[in-house]
Amino acid sequence: MAAALTGGSAFEAGALEAKAETAPVIYATAWGYTLAQDGSGFYNDVAAALTKREEGRSFYKLMPYKRAKAKFLADAGGCLFPSSVDVLKAGGLADEKHPMVQTEPLFEARTHLFAAPGEEPPHTMADLKGKRIALPAGSMMMDLLKGSGAKIIGVNDEESKAEMLMSGRVQVMSGMMPDTGLVFAHMGRQLPAFDGRFSFLNVGLAVVCRKTPETEALIGRLNSRIAELETDAAYRDMLHRAGVKPVGAGAEAMNAIMPAGGADRLLPAPAGRRFPHLKLR
């Protein structure tokens, strides 16, 4: 009897190990206050709600931003959060040889350029010439602004980037909304001036995976969970407090991402206007 029980326990442990080896890993790009490596921050809260029912079928791993991206690209069955297939394609990281799948977007995020105190925010690419600009190290923004004539400074976390702008060490910084609004609210500072019509990388943020049967199954489960969350009052309140609306709220609400203290600066783009920079939908 004892031998049989021991054998059964060993079998079950082996089965769990085998399951863990094939379960997809969601690499989370920790790099600051909104997605901290200690598990705190807005994006970790979103991920916790999203993966609440995974129970070992996938694993959420926090890593520094650049390492998480490298791990994801090296893992033939890995996932990345938060990201977008369109952004990865634009960066040459997804193609027919390396197909990727993603969940339905959780909400739209927009990248803007923010001005230091007393500085006029840039309105066009030409306004960046000769300026010192802080960008997330390893991000696509470094490639997008490479030919702008600005002096590009790579920064490894969002609070340091904000401090550089406030101290005048740089004249401009790139920042994604709602992240930037949350960071400045956390710092007790007013959101810096920016031109809401001059934006980059306007994407629906999601969980992106390298395409395998296991990750396609994961995407299906997460999409079902997203549909549930869209009607969950507590989740919607969390997004509202962060200044964002869930995708299910409709196109008008999607375009109304308002950070605390900065709603007057975020202006809708005129209908039909074209921009000389990248916008991914």
pLDDT tens string, the chain, 281 residues long: the values are 333 333 343 433 343 344 456 799 999 999 899 999 999 999 999 999 999 999 889 999 999 998 999 999 999 999 999 999 988 887 778 777 789 999 999 998 889 999 999 899 999 999 999 999 999 887 888 888 988 999 999 998 899 999 999 999 999 999 999 999 999 999 999 999 999 999 888 889 999 999 999 999 999 999 999 999 999 999 999 999 998 865 544 333 333 333 332 333 333 333 322 333 444 33
State the helix-helix crossing angle for 158-167 and 179-187, rounded to 10 degrees. Answer: 70
Q: Is there a cis peptide before residue 82, judged by omega within 30 degrees of 0?
A: yes
Supply the pTM of this predicted model: 0.77
Residue 53: per-residue pLDDT: 93
Which two tokens mark 201? Answer: 């990388």
Q: Can you tell me the distance from the alpha carbon of 196 to that of 110, in angstroms, rounded to the nearest whole number?
A: 9
Please give the single-letter amino acid code of residue 95. Answer: D
Where in the chain is CATH 3.40.190.10?
A: 23-108+203-253, 111-200
Residue 95: per-residue pLDDT: 74
Specify the CATH architecture of the domain 23-108+203-253. 3-Layer(aba) Sandwich (3.40)
Please say whether the beta carbons of 23 and 15 come within 8 A.
Answer: no
Q: Which of 70, 5, 82 is nearest to 41 (CA)?
A: 82
Residue 163: per-residue pLDDT: 96
Residue 93: per-residue pLDDT: 81
Q: Which CATH number fits the domain 111-200, given the four candidates 3.10.310.10, 3.50.50.60, 2.130.10.30, 3.40.190.10?
A: 3.40.190.10
Residue 160: per-residue pLDDT: 93
Residue 269: per-residue pLDDT: 33
Q: Can you tell me the distance from the alpha carbon of 235 to that of 197, in angstroms, rounded to the nearest whole number?
A: 29
Q: Can you tell me which residue has the tokens 């994961």? A: 218
Beta-carbon contacts of 234 under 8 Å, excluding residues fewer than 6 positions away, are none
Residue 171: per-residue pLDDT: 97
Q: Is there a cis peptide before residue 178, judged by omega within 30 degrees of 0?
A: yes
Rg (the chain; Cα; Å): 21
Residue 139: per-residue pLDDT: 82
Quickly count: other Cβ atoms within 10 Å of residue 52's Cβ: 11
Q: Can you tell me the distance from the alpha carbon of 105 to that of 110, in angstroms, rounded to the nearest whole number?
A: 13
3-state secondary structure of 105: coil
Residue 248: per-residue pLDDT: 46
Beta-carbon contacts of 194 under 8 Å, excluding residues fewer than 6 positions away, are 112, 113, 114, 115, 121, 265, 266
Q: Report how far Cα 130 is from the mean position of its chain's Cα atoms.
A: 29
